[in-house]
Chains A and B, each alone.
Chain A
Amino acid sequence: MGRFLLTRASQALFTLWVVVSLVFLLIHATGDPIAVLAPQQMNAHERAILRAALGLNQPLAVQYVRYLAGVLHGNLGVSYYSGQPAMRLILERVPVTLELVGLSIGIAVVLGVPFGIWAAVRSDRLADRLLRSLSVLGSSVPTFFLGILLIYVFSVAFNILPASGAGGLRHYVMPACTLAFFRIALFTRLVRSTLLETLSQNHVRTARAKGVSEPVVILKHALRTALLPLVTVFGLQFGQLFAGAVITETIFALPGMNRMALQALYRLDFPIILAYVLVVAAMFVTINFLVDVAYGVLDPRVRRHG
């Protein structure tokens, strides 16, 4: 187990380094923040001073080393606009995003898993058809349009939920449902198909032959084996949810880190973008690492062949 953990951890760190370096290159290869930052009337001399003040006159290699050192210290410079430390600005917004993502995963699991078990137990044409239609529909409605429809119905027409801003739980209802919508169908299908597969396996047959009651067979013996693929999807979905949160936070004006990063993108506020990418990449890598470890814990075969 020790070696397995070590290999996975070093792979995770390598991925992190690649992502961080790629973003740095991409940003510096394509945009000149001075062109965006400097007012029209600023002359060449003043522009040069501004460039030097932001460290943008250094050779790219120097900037890269400084940047890496900054990454290690958790110091990514200050926002070009507000002058506050970029890392702190992003970290302040993390809780809102985590609440949004956590709530929507929660909704998807709480609705999707029982529905999937039900569909597996009653595996007939009707349940199958209903599920297929729902999941096709779920993957055909873009997040931003679903958000708009919800706002029109619940905020404009009936006026029972707030359309924007952060505050109590009420502000999270529509954004979380928007994000969860597609995942409910996804989790249901997944639980159903893996559960159906495990229900025909030997250990389940043995349990039944022993006279174990049907609910116990399903919940204790079959569902546990079926959890493995769910863990993988959970990890993959986490990344997708973050991407979806960019759009959801924008529509519902939730002050999360994704919305802040999008605004920083519009005005080429490099430190904020870099801080955001670093935080997101770190979260991805951590989640993937945890998924790998969970796999190793749940299935000894993975550990051995690591």
Chain B
Amino acid sequence: MGRFSRPPAAPAVILLLLVLAAVFAPLIAPHDPEQQSLLMRLTPPAWVQGGSWRYPLGTDGLGRDVASNMIYGLRVSLLAGIVSVAISVVLGGVAGLLAGAAGEGWFDAVLMRLVDIQLSIPVVLIALAVLALTGRGLGKVILVIGLVGWAQYARLVRASVMAERQKDYVLAARLLGASRLRVIFRHLLPNVLGPLFVQVSVDIPRAVELEASLSFLGLGVAVTTPSLGLRIAQGYQYLFSGAWWPSVLPGLALVLLVLCENLIGDWVRDVLDPHYRRRRKPGVPPAPATIESTVP
């Protein structure tokens, strides 16, 4: 493992700061993110001419403080990323464990066909359709992102269980009289955790981006929720009159968050994925790039 045993310093520190800012948003944010002051609308950031330190990053078209909205927006982004991936893990994990433990048969065949179908339709399209029909709201967005993410986990956990159950220790456990459920949870599950964790570290930034994209399209959170994607969409119309800060600054916050999460995810994969680690010896090519793309 050597140089991969420590997380990359800069992304780790920045991510920690972003998480802290999100958690303590009410203490840090200079203003109420919802508070509008129409007299101060489109005030530029403090360092630009015409800006004031009362609004360090300026105000948007409704006179809301951009900095406060970014801090609260991080909260929404992190919440959406973590909770939705947790839903996917539980759903897909249970389905995959059951399919893997049941072995080849009709249950496994049906489940894997469903996984194939789900994976062949872009997640964004499904989420858009569901949200358009059910209406928007943060809870719904999180639920939808969680629901459409199950397939990857089902496939991953099933493959791991299938591989592990062939091994001698499982046979030994069965021979010792362990029940089927005990074998699953006590013996198979711990061995699946590594790849599961790698997938989670890849999926959290994806979920964050997906929430932002859906909110940007107007089918995500409610209009009053300070989501980064929604604020970018609302600030976008002022771009053409030269007011770049209401859309560009929340966008940069989003990119910073996702970038740090991706870099940490890369590190998690280096540490946990033995396949990848083995191939990173000098002169040997790294593992092939992941073929599933992120959120569009």
Name A residues whose Cβ lies closer than 8 Å to a Cβ of B. 15, 18-19, 23, 26-27, 30-31, 123, 128, 132, 135-137, 139-145, 148-149, 151-152, 155-156, 163, 179, 182-183, 186, 189-190, 192-194, 196-197, 229, 232-233, 236-237, 239-247, 250-251, 262, 265-266, 268, 273, 277, 280-281, 284, 288
Contacts and interface: CB of A to CB of B under 8 A. Distances in A.
Given A156-B240, A265-B129, A265-B219, A148 B247 contact: yes
B9 interface: no
Nearest to A138: B294
B117 A19 contact: yes
B179 interface: no
B266 A136 contact: yes
B121 A284 contact: yes
Contacts of A194: 288
Contacts of A26: 129-130, 133
Contacts of B130: 26, 30
Contacts of B93: none
Contacts of B283: 123
Contacts of B129: 23, 26-27, 265, 273, 277
Interface stretch (B63-71, B159-167, B205-213): B205-213
Nearest to B295: A142
Nearest to B293: A240
Interface string B264-296: 001000000000000000010111110111111
A297 to B, nearest CB: 20
A22 B294 CA distance: 24
B263 A182 contact: no
Contacts of A280: 125
B38 to A, nearest CB: 24
B290 to A, nearest CB: 8
Interface in B119-141: 120-125, 128-130, 132-134
Contacts of B288: 189-190, 193-194, 229
For the complex of A and B, 6 pairs with smallest distance between CB atoms: A244-B296, A243-B122, A189-B289, A265-B132, A196-B285, A30-B133
B217 A140 contact: no
17 contacts: A23-B129, A27-B129, A31-B133, A141-B258, A142-B216, A145-B254, A148-B236, A193-B288, A194-B288, A233-B291, A243-B122, A243-B125, A246-B217, A262-B128, A265-B129, A268-B133, A277-B129
Q: Give the residue among B117, B133, B219, B248 with the most A Cβ atoms within 10 A.
A: B133
B181 to A, nearest CB: 32
A137 B288 CA distance: 17
Nearest to B208: A142
Given A18-B117, A142-B295, A143-B213, A242 B122 contact: yes
Contacts of B205: 140
B79 to A, nearest CB: 18
Q: Give the residue among A143, A194, A250 with the most B Cβ atoms within 10 A.
A: A143
B195 interface: no
B289 A186 contact: yes
B197 interface: no
A143 B217 CA distance: 12
Nearest to A140: B259
Interface residues of B, number: 52
B213 A142 contact: yes
Given A145-B255, A152-B248, A30 B134 contact: yes
Given A144-B217, A288-B120, 19 more contacts: A19-B121, A26-B130, A139-B262, A140-B205, A140-B262, A144-B232, A145-B251, A148-B251, A151-B239, A152-B244, A182-B293, A190-B288, A193-B288, A239-B122, A240-B293, A244-B296, A245-B296, A247-B213, A265-B132
Contacts of A15: 116-117, 120
Contacts of B177: none
Given A30-B134, A196-B285, A273-B129, A237 B293 contact: yes
A255 B201 CA distance: 36
Nearest to B258: A140
A100 to B, nearest CB: 12
A143 B124 CA distance: 12
B242 interface: yes
Nearest to B219: A265
A288 B119 CA distance: 12
A142 B117 contact: no
Contact of B216 (A229, A244, A247): A247
A186 B287 CA distance: 13
B212 A262 contact: no
Nearest to A241: B296
Contact of B255 (A31, A140, A196): A140
Contacts of B121: 19, 239, 281, 284
A302 B78 CA distance: 43
B162 to A, nearest CB: 18
